[in-house]
Amino acid sequence: MRIGHGYDVHRLVEGRPLILGGVPIPFEKGLLGHSDADVLVHALMDALLGAAGLGDIGRHFPDSDPAYKGISSIALLCRVRALLQVRGFSLVNADITLIAQRPKIGPYMPEMRRNLADALGCPEDRLNIKATTEEKLGFTGEEAGMACHAVCLLEEHG
């Protein structure tokens, strides 16, 4: 068994769509980034790559590469799945905590979980998504950005 942790932050700006867990969410601002800036999927990918000893998403999908401009992070998650698969890793479980003051993401969680499970080719019950505010404190509380933590466990097949 191997454990991994991922953490990511993106700035909230006007004029960008808000995509979390591959789900477009109606909101007056969106996350800024080279890709679709899906902070939740980025934290999960870093946890998976970390557990596999494969570095981080910056190494595999550099934001200086025009190939990744505007790309769906769910598509990148599919590529991470392939990297894990060829090395004989499978996901035991992942637990993801999004930190955002607004909007409420509870109603979108089932669809996010389905998207992640589809991309990883695993049952939905291996994935858990939570969200919290930071009580209006700090950059998430001021709605300047969103943050996300993810931890995961991988199992190695001989």
Task: Tell me if 104 sits within 8 A of 64, measured CB to CB.
Answer: no
The 2-31 site mask, x for binding Mg ion (CB under 5 A), equals ------x-----------------------
At its nearest, how many Å lie between Mg ion and the CB of residue 89? 22
75 vs 92, beta carbon nearer Mg ion? 75
Q: Extract the runs of DSSP E, i.e. beta strands, from the chain.
A: 2-13, 18-20, 23-25, 30-31, 89-99, 127-132, 145-156
Judged by CB under 5 A, the number of residues near Mg ion is 2
Task: Quote the CA–CA distance of 37 and 9 in Å, as a whole number.
Answer: 9
Site for Mg ion in 69-98 (CB under 5 A): none
Task: Quote the CA–CA distance of 151 and 36 in Å, as a whole number.
Answer: 22
At its nearest, how many Å lie between Mg ion and the CB of residue 111? 21
At its nearest, how many Å lie between Mg ion and the CB of residue 157? 29
Q: Would you count residue 36 as binding Mg ion (CB under 5 A)?
A: no
Selected binder of Mg ion within 12, 19, 20, 42 (CB under 5 A): 42
51 vs 146, beta carbon nearer Mg ion? 146
Which tokens belong to 124? 């939905």
> What residues contact residue 24 under an 8 Å CB cut-off, 6+ apart?
17, 18
9 vs 92, beta carbon nearer Mg ion? 9
Which tokens belong to 155? 């199992």
For Mg ion, the binding residues (CB under 5 A) are 8, 42
